[in-house]
Amino acid sequence: MLDASQVARLDRHRTEQGQTKFTQLWLTTSRAMSALPPAAFLAARRAEWGIENGLHYVLDVSGDEDRRLHVRTLNNLCVLTLLSRISVALWKDSQRGKKWPQSYYLWREHHKARPGSLLRLMCTPVAPLAS
Helix (H, G, I), strand (E, B) or coil at 19: strand
Q: What is the pLDDT of residue 21?
A: 92
- pLDDT, averaged in runs of 10, over the chain (131 residues): 80 87 89 90 81 71 69 84 83 83 83 80 72 56
pLDDT at 129: 65
Q: Is 93 helix (H, G, I), strand (E, B) or coil?
A: helix
Q: Which domain holds residue 91?
A: 37-122
Whether 8 maps to a domain, the answer reads no
Strand partners for 8: 27
pLDDT value at residue 87: 83
Helix, strand, coil fractions of the chain, as percent rounded to 5: 50, 15, 30
Structurally, how many domains does the chain consist of? 1
115 lies in a domain?
A: yes
88 inside domain: yes
Measured CA to CA, the distance from residue 107 to residue 89 in angstroms comes to 12
Looking at the domain assignment, is residue 94 inside a domain? yes
Predicted structure pTM score: 0.52
- Count the Cβ atoms, other than its own, within 10 Å of residue 107: 19
Does residue 9 lie in a domain region?
A: no
